[in-house]
Amino acid sequence: MGRKWNNIKDKKAEKDKNTSRIYAKFGTEIYVAAKKGEPDPESNTALKAVLERAKTYNVPKHIIDKAIDKAKGAGGEDYDELRYEGFGVGGTMVIVDALTNNVNRTASDVRAAFGKNGGNMGVSGSVTYMFDSTAVFGIEGKSADDVLEILLEADVDARDVFEEDDVTIVYAEPDQFHAAQEAFKQAGVEEFTVAELTMLPQTEVSLSAEDIAKFEKMIDALEDLDDVQRVYHNADLGE
């Protein structure tokens, strides 16, 4: 797919290192997951997945504990889970996932981020059909052959296993996320460089240097919105 997972994560971390934005977004996501089910990751698979991803971004324990404690309390804020779809320069496709307590505000902000940067919002379903929901893991210290053996022994099917920048990347069906995660941990994997559910593009679009600059500006504008949790796209940015 050409997705440099560790480079992408490091770029986002670098961008947010001087702010608490990334932690605030994780706090909201953890709160929503904990409030929807039990505030215990062992009985709440959605919360467990969010916490695993938060770990790869080094989210501080006090942020996690505060969000879970907030979810345990009575009342609290209600958030809507929203997905927007749109287009950028060069025929690129973009998916935006958001958590919001003000739907009108978020829709307006997302539309503006697209429109001010050469893009436009599409209707529901106009983009997602070109992406596949996928579980992705990044593991250091184990070869692709080692990882395949671990998955086979645990009877977990993988879409693809390959090595990228000294990290073995695994693509699996989304419903295999927790089975794969447990298999790796049983095999002694303590940490992942990537552990998340994502949307992988079926094909990628190549852009000129000028269009890459425009496109990245649009993606930055979307990711900077407080209500936006995740942004997926099919542009090949050469990362």
The model's pLDDT over 176-216, given as tens digits with 9 standing for 90+, comes to: 999 999 999 999 998 898 899 999 999 999 999 999 999 99
The model's pLDDT over 53-81, given as tens digits with 9 standing for 90+, comes to: 898 888 899 999 999 999 888 667 889 99
Query: For 80-129+203-236, which CATH superfamily applies?
Result: YebC, transcriptional regulation domain (3.30.70.980)
Q: What is the pLDDT of residue 58?
A: 85
- Where are the alpha helices (H) located in 120-171, listed in sequence order? 144-153
What pTM value is reported for the model? 0.88
CATH code at 5-72: 1.10.10.200
Query: Can you spell out the DSSP letters for 48-94?
Result: HHHHHHHHHTT--HHHHHHHHHHHHSSS----EEEEEEEE-GGG-EE
In the predicted model, residues of the chain with pLDDT beneath 70 are 1-19, 74-75, 239
| Pairwise CA distance, residues 170 & 6, whole Å | 13
The average confidence (pLDDT) of the chain is 88
Domain 130-201 belongs to what architecture?
A: 2-Layer Sandwich (3.30)
Q: What is the pLDDT of residue 13?
A: 52
